[in-house]
Every structure is written in C-alpha cells, then in structure tokens.
Structure 1
Amino acid sequence: RRSILALQELIRKMDPAAELRPFGSWLSGMCTKRSDLDLCLMLPSKNARSKEDLTKKVMRLASFLRHYGVPDAWGILARVPIVRCTDPLGQGELDITINNRLGALKSILFREYILTDDRVWSLVVIVKEWSKQKGLADAFFGGLNSFGFTLLVLGFLQSVVRPPVLPNLLKSSTPIPPEERAEAKEADLIYGHQEGKTMLVKRNESSVGLLLWQFFRYYGSYHDFDNDVVSIRLGKVIDLDSVAGEIHFTSGGRKFAFIEDPFEPEVNVGRSLTSKTVGLLQEEFRRAQTACQRGDLHSLFHRSNRAAEMERKRERESARNQDMLSRGQAYHRRKGGEEKDRAEHHGDERRQRKKSQSSHGLADGELSDQLAEEAMTLSFSDSLSEAAMSSEASGRVRSLSFASRRRSDSDDLVEAERRPWSSASLPLRTSIARKGEVEKGG
C-alpha cells in the first residue's frame, strides 16, 4: 500500500487526474511476498483506446518515471503494453498498464473463485511457485505467464475433477462485444462467491494434496495440448475442432496450447508456448506427479537448471536495456548541445544583420525628404532628353544618385533606370510632365 501511494504521488506530477488501481494477484488475493505488484493507471482521457495510443502513453510513462528517479522503468510492447520497473520503495517489481478495465474484472473473478473454496488459493499459489522454480513461468522466454497457470488450475477444478470443486461464476457464456468492454461492470458479469457456493449440488471433499496430484497427472498425461481448449467461460475443456466456428483466436501461426481468456475469447493465453516448451511443461508435470505421490516436497520445488538459465537471461536483458538507455541519454545530451551551439550561432548572425541594417538606416535618415524626392525624380534623367535638362540639374542628379542607392528602395530605382518605359516609371513621368519641368519625353 505504501508503494502504491508513493507511486501515485509521483505520477500525479504528470497528470493530476490520474489514478493508480491495483489488480492482478494483489486484488484477487493470490499474492505472496514474492509476487509482483500489478497496477492499472486510469487516465481520464478516452482517446487511449487503440493499441497505438496505449503504446505512446506507455513509452511516455516509462520516460517520465526514469526522469523522476525510477532508473529501470521500461516500456514493454506486448499485446497489452506495460511499464515494468522496480518499486520506488525497493519492495519488488511493478507492472503498470493503462486504462486496463478488463484486467481488474479478471482479478475480481479470480477473487470470487478463491472465496468460493479455500483450497483454490492453496492450489494456485503452489502451482505458480512450482512453475517459477522450473523456469516455465516467463512468457517472454517461451513459457506460460501467471495468468495462464491460474486458468489451468481453475479449468481443472471446474471440469476435470468429479464432483467439481468450482462452479462457473460467469453470468453469461456470450462474449462481451469489444466496443462494450471498456464500460463493463462487475455486477453484470460475475456471480458472487455466496451464490457460487449454492450452485454446487455436491461438495468435493478431496484434500489439497490429492487435488494437486490429480492436477499434475491430468496435464502431464491426459490433456491434449494440440486440440483441447481450457475454457472457464464455458466451464469445460472443449475440443478445438468442435468450436471452430465459435472461437477465433486472433494470434496467427502454429500454436501448441490453447487457453481461452474468459473475457476476450479471441485471445489465446497459451500462445507463448512453443513446441519445445510444451514438451518441457508436460515432462515437468509428470515429474511433479511422481514427487507428489512420494511426498517429496524438496524434489517438487527444487530449482531446475532452466530456471537458473532464465534468471541469467533476464539479467542480461536488463543490462542490455540499461546500456541502451545510457547510450540514448548520451546521444540526446550530445544532440542537445549541438542544437544549442547551432542556435547560438544563428542568434549571433541575426544580431549582426540587425546591427548592419540599423547602421544603414542612420545613413538613410541623413537624407532630407526634399533631396530624397528629388533624387527619386531625377534618377530617370538618363532616359529623358539631355536637351530638356540644364547642366546644373544633371550635376545634382550625379551627386544624389549615389546617396539614393543607399535607400531601401534603391534596387527598384536602378531597375527602373534600366527599363525607362516600364510601368513602374509611368507615374513619375506623368508627374514630371504635369509640373512642367520637362518639355518633351525621351
């Protein structure tokens, strides 16, 4: 709770209306001291619906957290983009999603299942810890995430053991339309645990140990990962071919395990498993069955070589990410310095131009209005008849023509001199003729 409050205070510097809400194992009640903390950042804006919008906001959040003292905040562009970082108080890892309403609903559903039967919590925690010790709980490296293992346990307790330990707590097997998922409410979708207890006609009295052994035996020897779909939405294990028209998994490519998301049936939670890891998973299930049968807890939770290898891979990945971040920060600092130098150079040039223009303006001011008007008028003398002008006027034109070229409009006058009969020279010629200063035009 202190970690959430500390992070909430930090994030409100970015958006005062933002709110952090816990979900995942913390909300469902399945958390342990080693569990990661899953948080959902609820933003008031409704424009972060598409994956592109969420990706931008996730990367911005990661950059913001690094700027404010969380150095290992990374944006992970998974199906649901997240920011992964270390707790500011140093108490564990954090996964932060944005506007993930369905994530909270899934956690609430799991909480109701736990409250329906006390054995559910024990089985889920044991299986999750076992999967971590065997190196199979990281979807990034071809394993299955914690959400997937929880669905395997719930599916087993619903549809495999007889009598079932758990009922189906979803009020409808009809999938929620995608456009309505952001506004879905708990009361409309999920039965409470009190109602769930009344749904069971006969209570299963098996112990946690017996149920755990049966769980490992079923998934190690009887479950067909190529064709069976674990679905707690329907409350049973279904054949993939028989529901080909009802379930359309959106992830392409060859898949080796099928676990349906209860609120997003088109999502295959087991999509991260490969042919190799499915084989390893089944092998570990069978070993765990043997360990349970012998009562050998040491062998059941013994850390495998794969788990140590996955740990080394995560450390190398973290170091590589940190190195990339350091290089990126150095690059931006260098580019920022170059931009600053360039801006200062351009500023010096602009100041020099303004100073030069200012000095020319003083020279222009030295000309009186009378001389300027006379210079503009008499500059066209080369195009007029020499007979119509006195030698004195010609001398005044020659003396004033240099000064007139220092004016801002000197280029226009020079151009008019070159083309004496252009349209620009006609008004001046007309005024000259009107004043009677010239008898005939050139």
Structure 2
Amino acid sequence: MLQKIRKRRSATMSLTRVIKEKFGSEYEVQPFGSTRYGVSSSEADMDMVIIDPSRPHGISPDDKRKQPAIYDVRRVADTLRRAGFTQIKSIPRASVPIVQFRDPLTSLDCDININERLGIFNSDLINAYCSNMVTLRPLLFSIKTWAKSKGLNSSNPPSGELRSFSSYALTMMTIGFLQHRGYLPNLQAHLPPLEASGYNMNFWRTRPRPTCCDCRFYTKPPSWKQPPHLPNQQGLLRDWFQFWAHEFKYNTQMVSIREGGIVERRDTNDVSNLVLTTSIPLSGPPFLSIPIRVMDPFIVEKNVACSVSARAMERFARECGEWTRNGQ
C-alpha cells in the first residue's frame, strides 16, 4: 500500500515540476478518481488535472479572456515528450481534452486534463461517502476487482473488446445501492438555494455546451443517523450481487445518488428509443436503447454508464446471478 502511494505521489510531483517550469509556477497538479479517494489498485491508471488558479469555476460563457497556452493539450503533450515521458497521445476533441502518457520512473499510465475540476469534486464527494461508512472503500475495491476479472471494468477498451463499466460508474451504482438500502445518506439533499448558500461551489463545463454544475454537498448530513446494525463487508457484497441480479429493474429504474439512490428511470435525453433484444430476465418491456442509466451527481443530464453495451449489461446481470449462487 505504501509503495503504491509513493509511486503515485512521485508521478504527481514529477509532472508538477515539468508543468511549473514550462507554463508557470502558479499551476498545480492534483490527482482525482480512485487515487484521490483511496480505492486504486497498484496497476490502475492515474487521472490528474492541472489547476488554473485564475479560473476556479471553469470558463463561463461571459469569460472573454484569452486562454493561457496551457489549455492547448498539444502543447502540453509536446512538453511532456521533451521532458522524457513516453507513450504520449493528445486528444483535443474529446468532451474533456486530455493528454495520455506514461511516467517513465513509475511506469504508471496517466491521463491529464486542464482545469476540468469536476473530477475533483466527484472524487471528494465519494470520499465523503467513504467517511460516512468505513466498509465502503473495501467494498468498492472488491467490486472493482471482481468486475475487472470478468471483463466488466472497461468503458474504453481496445477495438473488438466489450464496452462495459468504468470504475466511476460502478462506484455510483454501489453508493446508490447503499442509499436504497438505507445504509448511506444523500449528501446532496436539503441544500439551500445556490444563491443563498453563502459560498460559490459552481463549476462551468464547456462541452458539449456551456453548463453550470452545482457541486455542493454535505460531508455529514445534518439530520441523518446510520442504522445501528450494518451488515459486514461480506454481507454487503452478497446483497450487492443479489440486488443487481434480481432486484434492480433495468427498464424502469435508474441510479441517481443526487436523488437518493434508485429512482424511476427517465429516458428523455436518450438519442433514440430503439428496442434492443436481450436474454436478461426482466419484468416488463425489454431494454431501451441505453441498457442502464447511472446519472452523474453534478452533471445531472449525464449518464456515466452510456458506453455500456447491451451485451455487457447481459453479462453483468448473468455474472451477478452466478456470484449469488456460487460466491465467486
């Protein structure tokens, strides 16, 4: 564990030094994702963001200032190449432009974006949920390890492989399940109106269109008390597989931790309403064009499981059922 932490800290420090030397001492590099909330495996990729202190809330539509050079991911990629980082690829047209690279000292594969702070807000929200339930981190790690072993933890696989769940989607599904069971609170419930809250926690994302996201949440909800008797980790894991194999209604329900867990499915933002054929035993009509909806807690219209294919969804439900029968 300590070695894993040291490697990730070393990669962050190396990148920070390069960025400061090239673009200015005002910039910082911070990790987000599972590294930030403490559930990463030793071989997992590392997600990072370059923090622009002059734009703490992103780039709003009325911000007419010229963007600094650091916002050009091609220039960032070229800087990393000159500094000795390897396997570099810039993706400027992504919804969040990134640079992919490998740190030669730690052999960690990394992604970095410029000032897209929603990943930090998401990670800190997950960390707050982990602080409210001590068994959440090991539970998330067990689920991620299981999903990876079944080929169900890859939202952007190589060509020809199954498109399945990101670790983030599995985390949202797990928190939503625990909220549904009454084991976790809703940390975004009962917030005061944004303009009356007394502090600014909004963030502007620019793609695909300018959107202002309310990124507030409680670290401890004011009126929620955890049930006195919680299942142990193995009991929670068993219940998790039971829920996704037999209880969750994929065609009529969705996951939204912002709304408290499992809610009625809304497909108003789907591209189409084409019906897919599937052999998963469901009550009611078959899947709509998007097999599962797992909503982002801050980008309220974003389905973080939109890349999951019907075939992956079928395998997921089948493997969950297999686990409930055999415990593996």
> Which TM-score applies when normalising by structure 2?
0.75
Mapping for residues 30-429 of structure 1, pairs under 5 Å: 30-44=39-53, 46=55, 49=59, 57-76=72-91, 77-141=93-157, 142-159=163-180, 161=181, 164-172=182-190, 180-182=202-204, 189-193=216-220, 195=221, 199-200=224-225, 202-241=227-266, 249=269, 252-253=271-272, 254-292=289-327, 300=328
Find the aligned partners of 1:175 and 1:278 in 2 and give their Cα distance.
37
Tell me which residue corresponds to 1:304. Answer: none
State the SS of the aligned residue for 1:118: coil
Q: Is contact 2:58-2:203 (8 Å) kept?
A: no
Displacement, 1:216? Answer: 0.7
Find the aligned partners of 1:206 and 1:85 in 2 and give their Cα distance.
41
State the SS of the aligned residue for 1:62: helix
| Cα 1:173–1:147 shift into 2, 3 Å | farther
Find the aligned partners of 1:48 and 1:156 in 2 and give their Cα distance.
32
Q: Is contact 2:183-2:227 (8 Å) kept?
A: no
Q: Which amino acid in the other structure matches residue 86 of structure 1? A: R
Paired residues in the alignment total 279
Displacement, 1:134? Answer: 1.2
Q: Is contact 1:158-1:168 (8 Å) kept?
A: yes
State the SS of the aligned residue for 2:301: coil
Displacement, 1:172? Answer: 4.3
Displacement, 1:56? Answer: 6.5
Displacement, 1:59? Answer: 3.0
**With CA pairs under 8 Å and 6+ residues apart, which has the higher RCO, 1 or 2?**
2
Displacement, 1:79? Answer: 2.9
Find the aligned partners of 2:164 and 2:246 in 1 and give their Cα distance.
19
Q: Is contact 2:178-2:184 (8 Å) kept?
A: yes
Displacement, 1:276? Answer: 1.2
Displacement, 1:4? Answer: 1.1
Find the aligned partners of 1:86 and 1:190 in 2 and give their Cα distance.
34
Find the aligned partners of 1:152 and 1:55 in 2 and give their Cα distance.
35
Mapping for residues 8-19 of structure 1, pairs under 5 Å: 8-16=16-24, 17-19=26-28
Q: Which amino acid in the other structure matches residue 203 of structure 2? A: R
Which sections of structure 2, spanning at least 5 residues, go unmatched? 1-8, 61-66, 158-162, 196-200, 206-211, 273-288
Q: Is contact 2:186-2:259 (8 Å) kept?
A: yes
Tell me which residue corresponds to 1:4. Answer: 12
Q: Which amino acid in the other structure matches residue 34 of structure 2? A: S
| Cα 1:252–1:210 shift into 2, 3 Å | same
| Cα 1:29–1:201 shift into 2, 3 Å | closer
Partner deviation per Cα, 1:79-120 (whole Å, 9 max, x = no partner): 323222212322422121211222111111111111111111
Displacement, 1:223? Answer: 1.6
> Which TM-score applies when normalising by structure 1?
0.57
Structure index of larger Rg: 1
State the SS of the aligned residue for 1:213: helix
Find the aligned partners of 1:235 and 1:35 in 2 and give their Cα distance.
29
Displacement, 1:257? Answer: 0.9
Displacement, 1:185? Answer: 11
Runs of 4+ in 1 over 6 A off after TM superposition: 53-56, 173-177, 183-186
Identity fraction in percent: 27
Q: CA RMSD in A?
A: 3.2
Which sections of structure 1, spanning at least 5 residues, go unmatched? 293-299, 301-442
| Cα 1:174–1:106 shift into 2, 3 Å | farther
More strand by percentage: 2
Displacement, 1:18? Answer: 2.0
Displacement, 1:260? Answer: 0.6
Q: Is contact 1:175-1:265 (8 Å) kept?
A: no
| Cα 1:268–1:55 shift into 2, 3 Å | farther
Q: Which amino acid in the other structure matches residue 284 of structure 1? A: E
Q: Which amino acid in the other structure matches residue 41 of structure 1? A: I
Q: Is contact 1:6-1:88 (8 Å) kept?
A: no
Displacement, 1:139? Answer: 0.8
Partner deviation per Cα, 1:374-405 (whole Å, 9 max, x = no partner): xxxxxxxxxxxxxxxxxxxxxxxxxxxxxxxx
Q: Which amino acid in the other structure matches residue 97 of structure 2? A: P
